[in-house]
Amino acid sequence: MHEFIDALPKVELHVHLVGSASVPTVLELARRHPDGPVPASEAELRDFYRFRDFPHFIEVYQAVNALVRDPEDVATLVLGTARDLAAQNARYVELTVTPHSHRLVGMAPAAVTEALDTAARQAREQHGVQMAYIFDIPAGLPGDIIGGTLDQALNHPPEALVGFGLGGLEQARAGHTEAIRDAFRAARAAGLRSLPHAGEMTGPETIWEAVEELGAERIGHGLSCVQDPKLVAHLRETQIPLEVCPTSNVCTGQIPDVASHPLPTMLAEGLFVTLNSDDPPMFDTTLTGEYRVVADTFGLGREELAALARNAVTASSLDEKGKRAITADIDALLAT
């Protein structure tokens, strides 16, 4: 089964630029910026990635983000992600970028965009991976920062920008609801897809908010949807894709172990599920590893794993020609 998973053509829909940085990439950045807060040895870095809870994960994430100081660092992260995912037979990636993080260290929006565009071209040329981008708002920030993210998405977008997202602590969204809603309305009017996180560390109410007020076309995580039968019915009827990240949910303390994940319930209820890695090196996983762990834990077979891979293709922002090509390769592997 693991050989089948390794060979399975894959699409990654839920992975963060900074969180995707592998240990070698982070070590390269830490040595490039030795005054930063991140350990510069592999053993210390792996220990650094042991999280007590979600707030501690955010602290570590911000520390790694502090190493990303210029456009060259941004490009290094994108190419590292493309390299790592290409080795897992990933064909297409939607990479979440948080523009505010780069503004904080003085990077001009146009310079960030140029780095993203250049890295996307190099990822295709060097690794055969097609990169797309999602700009997200880190929750709990003042309205001017929300507006700054929107401004960059509308006025300085990379060529491959496909969506507008919302991440961070879900509990911190209170007090910024209207500003977030306004930003998503403007982004959607400009043709960007609505791709917020919801229901990761809060209840079904944040998923309802994402669906009803943000016009969500996919839900990042959606873990708590199973707590609300009415919401489950709605998600089943509309087939809004859920970007499920099992290992992430364990590492940030949302569930005690993978066996406790509601993935089997989601599948049994007929929900549209995709598998993703979120922040893979920080959680000691990979996209391939997520397929392996659900196969091993829940006994999923080739057909079910191929269906999850097809779902990710369908839920992606690829054009129809690109979707048909990857789907055909999935079906060809399944037929062997």
* Rounded Cα gap, residues 133 and 126, in angstroms: 18
State both tokens at 125.
Answer: 């040329």
What pLDDT digit, counting tens, does each position of 201-223 carry?
999 999 999 999 999 999 999 99
When pLDDT is cut at 50, 70 and 90, the band that residue 67 belongs to is confident
Q: What does the alpha-carbon distance between residue 252 and residue 52 come to, in Å, rounded to a whole number? A: 7
- pLDDT value of residue 143: 63
Write out the DSSP string of 291-304.
Answer: HHHHHHHH---HHH
Rounded-to-integer distance, Cα 193 and Cα 149, Å = 15
Distance CA 231, CA 315 (A): 19
For this structure, is 200 an active site residue?
A: yes
Neighbours of 48 (CB within 10 A): 17
Residue 142: per-residue pLDDT = 61
Q: What is the tens place of the pLDDT at every residue in 219-236? A: 999 999 999 999 999 999
Q: Which two tokens stand for residue 130?
A: 């097609």
What does the pLDDT read at residue 293? 98
The confidence band for 23, taking pLDDT boundaries of 50, 70 and 90, is confident
Q: Which of 12, 28, 170, 200 is flagged as catalytic?
A: 200
Q: Which long-range contacts (CB under 8 A, 24 or more apart) does 313-319 make?
A: 313/11, 313/92, 314/241, 315/13, 315/218, 315/241, 315/272, 315/274, 316/11, 316/13, 316/92, 316/94, 316/132, 317/94, 317/132, 317/162, 317/163, 317/193, 318/11, 318/92, 318/130
CATH topology of domain 2-335: TIM Barrel (3.20.20)
For 277-314, give one letter per residue: b (16+ CB within 10 A) or e. Answer: bbbbbbbebbbbbbbbbbbebeebeeeebbebbbbbbb
Q: What is the pLDDT of residues 280-298, one digit of tens each?
A: 988 889 999 999 999 999 9
Q: Beta-carbon neighbour count of residue 52 at 10 Å?
A: 11
Give the residues across from 198 on adjacent strands.
221
Position 62 pLDDT exceeds 90: no
Tell me the three state secondary structure of residue 174: coil
At 76-104, the pLDDT tens digits run 999 999 999 999 999 999 999 999 988 88
Instruction: Determine the pLDDT at residue 141.
Output: 65
Q: Considering the entire predicted model, what is its pTM?
A: 0.93
pLDDT tens digits, one per residue of 42-59: 888 888 877 777 788 778
What are residue 134's DSSP bridge partners? Answer: 96, 163
Q: pLDDT (tens digit, 9 = 90+) per residue, 143-173?
A: 678 999 999 999 999 999 999 999 988 888 8
